[in-house]
Amino acid sequence: MKAEQIRVAGLQIDQVEGNRQANLEAAIEAIDSAEPHNIYVLPELSSSGYSPQVFQALDELAEELEGPSYRAFGEVARKKDCCICYSFPRRVARNQFTICTAVVDSRGELAAYYDKLHVCSTGVCCEKDYFVAGRGPLGSFEVKGAKIGLAICYDIRFPEMIRKLALEEHIVLLLHPGGWPKDEGFFSWHIFVQTRAMENQIYIMSTNWAGTDNGRSAFCPPFVDGKGSTIETLGDSPGVLSGIVDLNYLQEVRKKYPYRTDRSDFY
């Protein structure tokens, strides 16, 4: 049986580039300081930091799926009876790394993981010089009987992926860790989040690192009317963005605006 509401927190924290222990401690402190939520979502590469300097040290910073980050967050998730969505550079072969997002559940066990399919090389991003693209599968898991999906940063620009999660995995919420720098692509980030949320009629929690070069984490409902239902954002400083996934409201939106049932089978 599905719960009527799921509480999700986006954690916008400062990064310490290349220092896993410091980043884990900052993340855990943010979780401990926040109000209780069912799910906590950290930024992209939350364990290592995100920068070219970090990428050059992947041989030291990369982890296995059940590595240091998994163990640290698993312990916290058990104690706080919650799920934690975190991200780290994953070693998949010798000298081969993916950008991975994983979720530990309230038992401290691995609930889902996803290797980033779309590796970015636009703007100031240079991921393709250091990472390989994931080969699937897509990532999803359940919280209180509701399906939650995973995507990472640049993935939001590819509607087919999010559509597949929405229509085939039946997700109600997308967790979207990002490492968005304030380059020419930064302005359109929220536009893509809002579009993906509305066209698929899902909630999206999209996180970023704190700082003057990053910031602006966002939570978007399945419908935005510019009045009571709007996208919520943080500024540049560290903070917690709290969102409520209201499953009753979600069903109302899908009934009132039947984008899914009106969709043609021609394409």
Task: Note the pLDDT tens digit of each residue in 190-235.
Answer: 999 999 999 999 999 999 999 999 999 999 999 998 777 899 999 9
Q: Is residue 119 included in any domain, yes or no? A: yes
Q: Is residue 129 included in any domain, yes or no? A: yes
β-sheet bridge partners, residue 203: 173
What's the rounded mean pLDDT across residues 99-125? 97
**Predicted structure pTM score:** 0.97
Q: Do the Cβ atoms of 111 and 83 come closer than 8 Å? A: yes
Q: What percent of the chain has pLDDT over 90?
A: 93
Give the up-direction half-sphere exposure of residue 15: CA atoms within 13 A in the CB hemisphere. Answer: 29
| Mean pLDDT, the chain, whole residue set | 96
Q: How many helices, marked H, and strands, marked E, lie in the chain?
A: 8, 12
What's the rounded mean pLDDT across residues 97-107? 99
- Residue 69: CATH number of its domain: 3.60.110.10
What is the per-residue pLDDT for 104?
Answer: 99
Task: Note the pLDDT tens digit of each residue in 146-158.
Answer: 999 999 999 999 9
Total domains present in the chain: 1
154 Cβ neighbours under 8 A, 6+ residues apart: 116, 118, 119, 120, 122, 125, 127
* Domain, as residue range, for 141: 5-262
Q: Is residue 73 included in any domain, yes or no? A: yes
What's the rounded mean pLDDT across residues 127-131? 97
What is the per-residue pLDDT for 123?
Answer: 86
What's the rounded mean pLDDT across residues 54-82? 98
What's the rounded mean pLDDT across residues 18-33? 98
Q: Is residue 267 included in any domain, yes or no? A: no
Q: Is residue 82 included in any domain, yes or no? A: yes
265 pLDDT higher than 90: no
1 pLDDT higher than 60: no
Cα 230 from chain centre: 19
What's the rounded mean pLDDT across residues 85-91? 99
Q: Is residue 51 included in any domain, yes or no? A: yes
Antiparallel, parallel or unpaired: β 39-41 and 83-93: parallel
Q: Is residue 125 included in any domain, yes or no? A: yes
Q: How far apart are CA 65 and CA 43, in angstroms?
A: 17
Indicate the pLDDT class of residue 96, thresholds 50, 70 and 90. Answer: very high
Helices of type H across the chain: 20-33, 52-55, 58-61, 68-80, 159-167, 186-200, 247-256, 259-262
What is the per-residue pLDDT for 2?
Answer: 65
What is the per-residue pLDDT for 167?
Answer: 95
What is the per-residue pLDDT for 226?
Answer: 77
What's the rounded mean pLDDT across residues 162-172? 98
Query: Hey, how many other C-beta atoms are within 10 angstroms of the C-beta on 111?
Result: 20
Q: Do the Cβ atoms of 214 and 208 come closer than 8 Å? A: yes
SS3 percent helix, strand, coil of the chain, rounded to 5, is 30, 25, 45
